[in-house]
Structure 1
């Protein structure tokens, strides 16, 4: 019985908090659980490396891997505003590839846009490795 009442109270609070805050926050940030990743965050690098392995295996098919991240910096930061509700970081750097070449990389981190609004979303483009121009000519959409 006590367990049922406690569960009811927790669920009621989970529903009420976003409503009290005007419904303008993602579920994770409503409770202060979310930290916006920096350009040089290891979690961002892991995400990019993992997604690149999948893209190389299924699309590029050149047996490449990212070995290291170099000279990474934030090019631009767009805070969340009333008009644009998603904070974004635009990052640039270089990646050392398993074939010995170093290539430019551009990536975008979107706060709170991970699965179900938890965590960040990362979109990236490596110079010369976007054969279908998913990110436009010369990776323009993530620059």
Structure 2
């Protein structure tokens, strides 16, 4: 009896395969870009001076310093943000906005911060993502040398 049920289930699944392969949807089966597979317009994500973007840089820096280096240093003020490059999306890459700003750290130092804002880099590919590098504080050399790896090419 169990064998008959199992064979019937397999037969039903196999009959669904052609129907699933033909279900292409609005953009020919390309569900990658959230209802905009052709990416007709430019990316309208946040700009470099967006308060949420700058707050995310400050928050991530504080988390990293607390979790790994335990120095107690934080970004007191992030100011003078400016866009240094913008690359709109293509079928192979996500849109990226490269930015530079100045920061006053809690230890009294003034440093340059380079960061990017990328499309589709948020949780599960929705929203935007932010990553940063602070000149002179890239202790693990993640973007070495001198934050060059986070700069646009």
TM-score, with structure 1 as normaliser = 0.76
Once superposed, which parts of structure 1, at least 4 consecutive aligned residues long, lie more than 4 Å away? none
Which gives a bigger RCO, structure 1 or 2 (Cα 8 Å, sep 6+)? Answer: 1
The 1:131–1:63 alpha-carbon spacing in structure 2 relative to 1, beyond 3 Å, is same
Contact preservation (8 Å) 2:87, 2:97: yes
User: In structure 2, which of residues 61, 71, 84 is the aligned counterpart of residue 75 of structure 1?
Assistant: 84
1:96 and 2:104 correspond: yes
1:98-137 paired onto structure 2 within 5 Å: 98-137=106-145
Structure with bigger gyration radius: 2
**SS at 1:38 equivalent:** coil
1:26 is aligned to 33
- Contact persistence 1:27–1:117 (CA under 8 A): no
Once structures 1 and 2 are overlaid, which stretch shifts more, 86-95 or 53-62?
53-62
Give the Cα separation in 1 of the matches to 2:103 and 2:54: 10
Q: How many residues align?
A: 123
- In the superposition, the TM-score normalised over structure 2's length comes to 0.72
Change (3 A) 1:94 1:70: same
Superimposed CA distance per residue, residues 56-90 of structure 1 (whole angstroms, 9 cap, x where no aligned partner): 012232211111112210000000113x3300001
Distance (Å, rounded) in 2 between the aligned partners of 1:95 and 1:19: 47
> Which residues of structure 1 form unaligned runs of 5+?
1-15
Q: Give the unaligned 5+ runs of structure 2.
A: 1-22, 38-42
CA pair 45-29 structure 1, distance change in 2 beyond 3 A? farther
- Alignment partners' CA distance in 2, 1:125 and 1:117: 22
